[in-house]
Amino acid sequence: MYNKYLILTLSFFCLIIILPFIGIFSKLNFDFYSLLVFISGTYILKIIYFTFYQAFFSAVLSCLIAIPFALALNRHKNLKIIRYLVSICGFSFVIPSILIVYAVIKLFGINGFYNNYFNFYELFGINSIYGLKAILIAHILLNAPFATRLFFQNLDNIPNKYYEISSSLNLTFFGNIIKLEIPIIKQNLFSVFSIIFSLCFLSFAIVMVLGGSPLNSTIEVAIYQFALFELNFNKAIFLSFIQIFICSIFIFIGFNKMKGSKYFEINNNKYIHPYKNYKFIKLIDYILILILSLFLFSPIVFIILNFFYNGFIENILFTSEFFNALFNSLVISIITGLIVSILGLLITILLIENYKNIIIQQSLFLLTSSILVISPVIFSLGYFIILGEYRYNNFFNFFVIILINSIFLIPFSILILFNNLKNIYLTYEDFQKTFRIKSSDYYLIIFSLIKNNLLYVFAFSSVITFGDFTIISFFKNQNFETLPSLLYKLISAYRFNEASFVAGFILVLSLIIYFFIDNIVYKLKPAKII
């Protein structure tokens, strides 16, 4: 019986993935010559070039900043404040990109904090922040902390005994970095670069708002513009196929190159870095950590300070506009979290119960991994086409936005649940047969052992969905907004006082949920099994 439910679940998951492509192909008027002319056009070539250009430099600069930051943090990781900084670095993975947009405008814009106090524009002859400069700054602020967290996790797994060996060999400070720490970072350097490149390649809100010109658009933004502003679905679809092809190359290469640290020992003993107590090195580390923290975490600090400084903005707080947006955001995020948790669990169970069936294993792997190469914009385009006139109906908007968010988050839930759940199943499989435990009781046992992991999946999915701007951009209207789309509307209308409140509200709520998530992560242990 349970297998039937699981197969039905998988069928439903396949259906919601296939449906948008049915919509896309229904509007596709394929003409090879037209496609060739379209791709070879100056405008499209410039967009493709700019997409690659900004993504490459964003990834390079993010990694160049992240590596020394991770090394410095690792040398002092016993300090409580360092652990907090590392935790905040992880927040960049879930922070809504529209918040970064707002922060860049308010910090680096012509009337922003830095120009007002340091007069950067006159000093360097800058006329505007918009364009490549703003995009690179925003991507660095968004992705450098994330890369730092990934590199730090690699360094954190180096056992103390390796540092003791390096000390006995009389390695210098730089010798220790070159011989021990850099090789650890190099293991995942290309993978981290590829992931950040892909995130920047698919960047939407940052490029759309901060690009400042149609020529400073990415493929992602161009698809949106062709579909919604020109209603030229054929061009949008052609660009979608180009993007899928390019992304599939980079994402699969990145994940195939991903390696864990070759050191498997966990550092349970008190950490002692051989050079952390050298006064000069300590001073340099502290200065580096301070400067990079002030820069990378400036959006978070600025938004929170601005939020509490301005207080409650009555002309936005007590409006139906704000409460409707808040209600929509909460409902969408909570329902998405529940769907992702339930469907992710059921699909993971199906995977594990059929772990000996290679065909099912490979099919599910290809199904879930393929989602990572298709951006939310493409799925949104497909559902946008399918809905037709119903896209102005709030109920259908709710339904579709939840579906699209669920599609992208379910693969992550499977990754989170798989290993722990597999260990449980392998242990209890014989136990169930021996003692003839009823299936219902058997699944209750599994649920009790996996509940913390499910709670993590729910919270993670909810906070990501709560801050989504890309998907809502396709389906928002005058009567249907979420908090991120409301923030975008306020920024576009230069209503920055109201925007500061909405941005602060989103950030504070996201931070609360995130630290709840991070607390769960640190407490998560392998399930206790007989």
DSSP assignments along 230-263, one per residue:
S--HHHHHHHHHHHHHHHHHHHHHHHHH----S-
pLDDT surpasses 80 at 87: yes
Mean pLDDT of the 367-382 span:
73
Comparing 55-59, 220-224, 317-321, 525-529, the range with the smallest average pLDDT is 525-529
pLDDT at residue 79, as a whole number: 82
Comparing 32-46, 168-182, 398-412, 500-514, the range with the smallest average pLDDT is 168-182
pLDDT at residue 139, as a whole number: 94
pLDDT at residue 153, as a whole number: 83
Comparing 294-298, 357-361, 477-481, 489-493, the range with the smallest average pLDDT is 357-361
Contact 502, 490 (CB under 8 A): yes
**Which DSSP symbol is given to 374?**
S
Distance CA 241, CA 516 (A): 39
Q: What is the pLDDT confidence band of residue 63, given thresholds at 50, 70 and 90?
A: very high
Q: What is the pLDDT confidence band of residue 484, given thresholds at 50, 70 and 90?
A: very high
pLDDT surpasses 90 at 90: no
Comparing 146-160, 216-230, 347-361, the range with the smallest average pLDDT is 347-361
Contact 502, 521 (CB under 8 A): no
pLDDT at residue 260, as a whole number: 44
Q: 3-state SS string over 455-506?
A: HHHHHHHHHHHHCCCHHHHHHCECCECCHHHHHHHHHHCCCHHHHHHHHHHH
Q: Which residue has the higher pLDDT, 519 or 87?
A: 87
What token pair was written down for 486?
């409301």
Comparing 119-128, 249-258, 461-470, 508-517, the range with the smallest average pLDDT is 249-258
Give the contacts of 183 (CB within 8 A, at least 6 positions apart): none
What token pair was written down for 408?
């992208």
Query: Among all chains, which residue has been given the structure tokens 């998560």?
Result: 524
Count CB neighbours of 4 within 10 A. 8
Distance CA 205, CA 164 (A): 47
396 three-class SS: helix
pLDDT at residue 442, as a whole number: 64
Mean pLDDT of the 463-478 span:
87
pLDDT at residue 525, as a whole number: 47
Distance CA 13, CA 407 (A): 8
pLDDT at residue 167, as a whole number: 64
Mean pLDDT of the 444-473 span:
83
Contact 62, 144 (CB under 8 A): yes
Q: What is the pLDDT confidence band of residue 31, given thresholds at 50, 70 and 90?
A: low
pLDDT surpasses 60 at 120: yes
pLDDT at residue 256, as a whole number: 55
pLDDT at residue 143, as a whole number: 93
Distance CA 213, CA 17 (A): 33
pLDDT at residue 136, as a whole number: 93
477 forms bridges with which residues in the sheet? 480
Distance CA 52, CA 335 (A): 36
pLDDT tens digits, residue range 326-373? 999 999 999 999 999 888 888 787 777 766 666 656 665 666 556 666
Distance CA 477, CA 384 (A): 13
Q: What is the pLDDT confidence band of residue 253, given thresholds at 50, 70 and 90?
A: low
Contact 193, 57 (CB under 8 A): no
pLDDT surpasses 50 at 268: no
What is 72-106 written as a DSSP string?
HHHTTTTSHHHHHHHHHHHHTTTS-HHHHHHHHHH
pLDDT surpasses 60 at 277: no
Query: Among all chains, which residue has been given the structure tokens 């400069």?
Result: 133
What is 124-188 written as a DSSP string?
HT---STTHHHHHHHHHHHHHHHHHHHHHHHHHTS-HHHHHHHHHTT--HHHHIIIIIHHHHHHH
Distance CA 25, CA 431 (A): 50
For residue 105, what is the enclosing H or E element? helix 97-108
> What is the 3-state composition of the chain as percent helix, strand, coil, each rounded to the nearest 5?
80, 0, 20
Give the contacts of 420 (CB within 8 A, at least 6 positions apart): 450, 453, 526, 527
Longest dimension (CA), the chain: 79
Q: Which residue has the higher pLDDT, 75 or 428?
A: 75
pLDDT surpasses 50 at 295: yes
**Which DSSP symbol is given to 111?**
T
Sign of the C-alpha dihedral computed for residues 132, 133, 139 and 140 taken in this order: positive
pLDDT at residue 526, as a whole number: 43
What token pair was written down for 170?
């009389």
Comparing 58-62, 207-211, 443-447, the range with the smallest average pLDDT is 443-447
Distance, CA of 79 to chain centre: 27
What token pair was written down for 192?
């981290």
Domains located in the chain, CATH noted:
2-261+312-523 (1.10.3720.10)
Mean pLDDT of the 247-252 span:
68
pLDDT surpasses 90 at 145: yes
pLDDT surpasses 80 at 509: yes
Mean pLDDT score across all residues of the chain: 78
pLDDT surpasses 50 at 527: no
Count CB neighbours of 219 within 10 A. 24
pLDDT surpasses 50 at 269: no
Q: What is the pLDDT confidence band of residue 57, given thresholds at 50, 70 and 90?
A: very high
Q: Note the pTM of the prediction, 2 decimals.
A: 0.82
Q: Which residue has the higher pLDDT, 70 or 427?
A: 70
Residue 278: name the closest of 66, 76, 65 by CA: 76
Q: What percent of the chain has pLDDT over 90?
A: 12
pLDDT tens digits, residue range 320-334? 888 889 999 999 999
Residue 147: name the closest of 196, 180, 77, 206 by CA: 196
pLDDT at residue 528, as a whole number: 40
pLDDT surpasses 70 at 204: yes
In one-letter notation, the amino acid at residue 424 is I
Integer angstrom CA distances of residue 209 from 16, 113, 186, 212: 30, 19, 34, 7
